[in-house]
Amino acid sequence: MNRSRGGRVDVDELLTTSKEPRRYELVIVQHSEIARATSPSERDRRVVDPPCILQLKIYDKRGMLDDDAMRSPYWVVHCMLQGDHEKPSQLLQGQLTSSASYVTAGWAHQAGCYFIFNDLTLSTPGIYHLKFLLTTVRALPIRPNELPVLKVIYSRGIRTYAQKEFPGMSVTEPCRLIYQRTELARMAISIFSSTAPHMMELSEKDTKNGGVDTVTNVETLEDVEKNVKYVNLRTTGWVQAIPLILKVQIGLGVLSLSSAFVSTGYVLGTVTLIFIGVLTTYSNIIVSNYLQRYPEIDTVSDIGYSLFGRVGKEAFEFAFIIYMIMIVASGLLGMSTALSQLSDNGACSVIFVSVMAIAVFLLAMLHQARYISYLGWFGVSCIVVSVMIVTIAVGVSDRPAAAPAGDYDLGLSAGVPGSFVDVMSGISTIIFAYGGLPAFIPILKEMRKPSDFNKSVVVGQGVTIVFYVIVALIVYTYCGQYIASPVLGSAGTLIKKISYGIALSGLLIGAVVVAHLLAKSIFARVFKRSRHFEMKTPQHYVYWVLTVAAGVVVSYIIANCIPYFDLVISLVGALFMTFFVLVMPGLIFLMKNGYQRAENSALKYWFDWVASVFMVVFGVYVMVSGTYATCILLKQQYGDTTPFSC
Element (H, E) at 498: helix 493-527
Domain 11-225 part of CATH 3.40.50.300:
no
Count other C-beta atoms under 10 Å from residue 167's C-beta. Answer: 9
Count other C-beta atoms under 10 Å from residue 643's C-beta. Answer: 11
Tens of pLDDT, residues 265-303 = 889 999 999 999 999 999 999 998 888 877 767 778 888
One-letter identity of residue 408: Y
The CA distance from 547 to 208, in Å, is 55
The CA distance from 534 to 228, in Å, is 10
Q: Which CATH superfamily is domain 241-638 in?
A: Amino acid/polyamine transporter I (1.20.1740.10)
The CA distance from 468 to 465, in Å, is 5
Degrees to nearest 5, angle at CA 568 with 562 and 572: 130
- 3-state DSSP helix/strand/coil percent for the chain, to nearest 5? 55, 15, 30
Backbone φ and ψ of 211, nearest 5°: -60, 130
Reduced 3-state DSSP string for 560-588: HHCCCHHHHHHHHHHHHHHHHHHHHHHHH
What number of H helices and E strands is found in the chain?
A: 20, 14
The CA distance from 289 to 238, in Å, is 15
One-letter identity of residue 285: I
Query: Looking at residue 77, what is its pLDDT?
Result: 92
Which is it for strands 75-82 and 212-213: parallel, antiparallel or unpaired?
parallel
The CA distance from 9 to 68, in Å, is 7
Reduced 3-state DSSP string for 141-163: CCCCCEEEECEEEEEEEEEEECH
Which is it for strands 75-82 and 97-99: parallel, antiparallel or unpaired?
antiparallel
Nearest to 500 by CA among 294, 309, 352: 352
Residue 583 near residue 620, CB atoms below 8 Å: yes
Is residue 130 left, alpha or beta, with left meaning phi > 0 and alpha meaning psi from -120 to 50? Answer: beta
Tens of pLDDT, residues 419-464 = 888 899 889 989 988 988 877 887 887 787 778 888 989 999 999 9
Q: What is the CA radius of gyration of the chain?
A: 30
Report residues of the chain scoring pLDDT below 50: 1-12, 16-20, 84-86, 88-89, 106, 108-109, 170-231
Residue 205 near residue 211, CB atoms below 8 Å: yes
Residue 336 near residue 568, CB atoms below 8 Å: no
Sign of CA dihedral 234, 235, 240, 243: negative
Query: Looking at residue 293, what is its pLDDT?
Result: 77
Q: How many residues belong to the chain?
A: 646
Count other C-beta atoms under 10 Å from residue 84's C-beta. Answer: 13
Backbone φ and ψ of 7, nearest 5°: 130, -165
Is the previous residue joined to 21 through a cis bond, with omega within 30 degrees of 0?
A: yes
Nearest to 383 by CA among 395, 391, 372, 373: 391
Residue 356 near residue 511, CB atoms below 8 Å: yes
Query: Looking at residue 143, what is its pLDDT?
Result: 56
Query: Looking at residue 381, what is its pLDDT?
Result: 83
Sign of CA dihedral 333, 336, 341, 342: positive
Domain limits, the chain? 11-225, 241-638
Query: Looking at residue 167, what is its pLDDT?
Result: 67
Nearest to 342 by CA among 503, 164, 170: 503
pTM of the model as a whole: 0.63
Kindly state the DSSP code that residue 528 receives in the 8-state scheme: T
Sign of CA dihedral 342, 345, 351, 353: positive
Backbone φ and ψ of 195, nearest 5°: -95, -10
Sign of CA dihedral 397, 402, 407, 411: negative
The CA distance from 453 to 242, in Å, is 9
Residue 51 near residue 83, CB atoms below 8 Å: no
One-letter identity of residue 164: K
The CA distance from 55 to 62, in Å, is 20
Close Cβ partners of 611 (under 8 Å, ≥ 6 residues apart): 282, 586
User: Which residue pairs, CB below 8 angstroms and at least 24 apart, start in 390-395?
Assistant: 390/475, 390/487, 390/488, 390/490, 390/491, 390/495, 390/499, 391/470, 391/471, 391/474, 391/475, 393/491, 393/492, 393/495, 393/499, 394/474, 394/475, 394/478, 394/479, 394/490, 394/491, 395/474, 395/478
The CA distance from 532 to 352, in Å, is 36
Reduced 3-state DSSP string for 26-65: EEEEECCCEEECCCCCCCCCCCCECCEEEEEEEECCCCCE
Residue 158 near residue 183, CB atoms below 8 Å: no
Is the previous residue joined to 486 through a cis bond, with omega within 30 degrees of 0?
A: yes
